[in-house]
């Protein structure tokens, strides 16, 4: 597990990794800016500050123990690799066993967290447990049906059958990618309603910044002509509770019905 996490962290420092992080940071900023409540948590991926545009008073970054150990080692050796200042880690926990009571968080953000988990469905169950009714979960993940995902799948298949020796993986070999349609089924089973979803990063699987810049036009073309084949997907879902009725604020004055005036006939 540690090698997978370390490989993903190193990959995010490459040109395609920086390209993906830039797109995802913009999407997270837009998604969480107008979400209100008291408690928000980002679970995993410290390379992204997914809650920086959110205005909730309590915002935390939680990491798995393996990744926290790697970050601590980098801090001791001074190996920052030119990365921007990360959000302070507030909690080290297991994503499949969150130390929060039920219905205690208003927002949970999962940037590539499900792909790195040994039991992603259990992680979603924990998120559903700790979210308040009408709370939101924001998820990003690699799309296995994209150009990046197809190249990764072909390289993995070549490695399994022993073709051409060591496979040339474009993405880090960290966990298993979860398709957006499979994720939708999981969310539906847990009484989540998908509020919005989108795809992004349509440029080919190039490793150099030069070729990524030359194919920048594909982002506009892909969003219009083949939107579901983006390298990464982004989902916002709402926790729905059956039979619950939202009440308005207690300070709102109640409207009291007044009797209609009774006309009085004028006497002459």
pLDDT at 148 over 80: yes
138 Cβ contact partners less than 8 Å away, ≥ 6 residues apart = 28, 31, 32, 50, 107, 108, 109, 110, 234, 235, 236
Q: Given pLDDT bands bounded at 50, 70 and 90, which one contains residue 66?
A: low
* Of the listed ranges 122-126, 150-154, 158-162, 238-242, the one predicted with least confidence: 158-162
**Closest-CA residue to 230 (of 108, 145, 104):** 145
Terminal C-alpha separation, the chain? 98
Q: What is the mean pLDDT of the chain?
A: 83
Distance (Å, whole) CA 82 – CA 120: 31
Distance (Å, whole) CA 41 – CA 105: 8
* Of the listed ranges 8-22, 76-90, 122-136, the one predicted with least confidence: 76-90
Q: Given pLDDT bands bounded at 50, 70 and 90, which one contains residue 98?
A: very high
**From its phi and psi, is residue 134 left (phi > 0), alpha (psi between -120 and 50) or beta?**
left
Distance (Å, whole) CA 141 – CA 18: 15
Structure tokens at 101: 């009571």
Residue 9 confidence (pLDDT)? 78
**Strand pairing partners for 8?**
none
| Orientation of helix 180-189 relative to helix 120-130, angle to 10° | 40
**Strand pairing partners for 90?**
none
| Orientation of helix 65-77 relative to helix 2-11, angle to 10° | 60
Residue 182 confidence (pLDDT)? 93
More confident residue, 10 or 160: 10
148 neighbors 212 (Cβ within 8 angstroms): no
Distance (Å, whole) CA 259 – CA 91: 59
Q: Tens digits of per-residue pLDDT, 200-249?
A: 999 998 888 999 999 999 999 999 998 999 999 999 999 998 766 655 55
Residue 251 confidence (pLDDT)? 55
Residue 202 confidence (pLDDT)? 95
pLDDT at 264 over 80: no
């Amino acid at each position: 597990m540690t090698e997978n996490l370390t490989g993903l962290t190193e990959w995010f420092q490459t040109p395609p990794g920086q390209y993906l992080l830039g797109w995802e940071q913009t999407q997270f900023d837009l998604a969480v800016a107008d979400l209100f409540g008291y408690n928000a948590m980002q679970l995993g991926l410290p390379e992204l500050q997914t809650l920086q545009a959110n205005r909730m008073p309590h915002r935390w970054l939680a990491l798995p123990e393996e990744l926290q150990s790697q970050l601590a080692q980098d801090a001791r050796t001074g190996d920052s690799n030119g990365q921007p200042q990360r959000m302070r880690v507030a909690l080290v926990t297991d994503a499949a066993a969150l130390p929060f009571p039920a219905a205690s968080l208003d927002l949970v953000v999962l940037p590539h967290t499900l792909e790195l988990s040994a039991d992603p469905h259990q992680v979603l169950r924990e998120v559903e447990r700790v979210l308040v009714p009408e709370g939101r979960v924001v998820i990003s993940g690699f799309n296995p049906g994209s150009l990046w995902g197809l190249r990764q799948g072909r390289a993995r298949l070549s490695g399994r059958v022993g073709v051409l020796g060591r496979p040339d993986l474009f993405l880090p070999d960290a966990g298993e990618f979860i398709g957006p349609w499979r994720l939708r089924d999981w969310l539906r089973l847990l009484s989540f309603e998908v509020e919005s979803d989108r795809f992004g990063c349509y440029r080919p699987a190039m490793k150099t910044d030069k070729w990524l810049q030359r194919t920048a036009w594909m982002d506009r073309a892909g969003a219009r002509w083949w939107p579901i084949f983006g390298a990464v997907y982004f989902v916002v879902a709402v926790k729905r509770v059956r039979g619950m009725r939202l009440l308005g604020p207690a300070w709102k004055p109640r409207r009291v019905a007044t009797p209609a005036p009774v006309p009085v006939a004028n006497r002459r």
